[in-house]
Amino acid sequence: MGDRDWRPFIYGGLASIVAEFGTFPIDTTKTRLQIQGQKIDPRHVELRYSGMVDCFVKTSRQEGVKALYCGIWPAVLRQATYGTIKFGTYYSMKRILAARRADGGAREHLPTNTVGEEKGSLVRCFVDIYRNEGVRGLWRGVGPTSQRAAVIAAVELPVYDASKRALLPALGDRPLNHLLSSLLASLGSAVASTPLDVIRTVRSEGGSALYKGFVPTWLRMGPWNIIFFITYEQLKQLY
């Protein structure tokens, strides 16, 4: 394996896309639950759903299963870029640092949805934003988005690696270990990221709103991380 190993980037991107397809309906449900009942936008004051299952069922019956995947292509594009960079950079840096350790790296010490109907709508969206707002419009919200991404990456990946290492003596490097480690990683990232997702509601609803939607967030991150890390680990074994 040479210094320029692109496998972490390729595997990270592919696993991210697979995980996004597998869990996007959960993300749609989570978003709908989070925005209902808020006081800022009068369109979402009404409480239409009593819970995650209720939201999932009502959306499927009233709007069709396709509605659960509304906005999937922007999300896939995001994972194809963000997921590739995030996981590829982390695992590449971890490998480089481990290789430079005196012990040869035997131990590890490293601790959006947009609405769209078809693939073409994504392109039209880019064009419309560029025409109306210029290049700066395409980067609107990059600050909060980057901060959230940094928090999740700083918690999720180290927790997974630490959990996996701790479970190795009992479970070995097997799917069960990957599953349990990914669940713990998703719990950590949900605790860290939920306040960032709903920070705008604090002014109108108080500090308790910081963890509004925590359970749906964790339930979404759990399956996503399970699919991602198991897919990633299996891809690592292929080559």
Looking up tokens 């697979």, which residue turns up?
18
Using only C-alpha atoms, the chain has a radius of gyration, in whole angstroms, of 19
pLDDT band at 154 (very low <50, low <70, confident <90, very high): confident
Region at 105 (left for phi over 0; alpha for psi -120 to 50; beta for the rest): left
Nearest Cα neighbor of 115 from 72, 64, 165, 56 is: 72
- Which pLDDT belongs to residue 195? 72
Side-chain-facing half-sphere of 29: CA atoms under 13 Å: 25
- Which pLDDT belongs to residue 56? 85
Looking up tokens 């659960």, which residue turns up?
68
pLDDT band at 14 (very low <50, low <70, confident <90, very high): very high
| pLDDT over 50 at 124, yes or no | yes
> What is the pLDDT averaged over residues 50-55?
81
Between 93 and 175, where is the model more confident? 175
Mean pLDDT over all residues of the chain? 76
> What is the pLDDT averaged over residues 147-153?
76
Between 4 and 104, where is the model more confident? 4
pLDDT band at 179 (very low <50, low <70, confident <90, very high): very high
Q: Vertex 137, ends 134 and 142: CA angle to 5°?
A: 145
The CATH class of 7-110+112-238 is mainly alpha
**CA 137 to CA 229: how far, in whole Å?**
34
Maximum average pLDDT range among 26-35, 77-86, 146-155, 161-170:
161-170
Interval 193-202: pLDDT, tens: 777 666 655 5
Maximum average pLDDT range among 47-56, 111-120, 144-153:
47-56
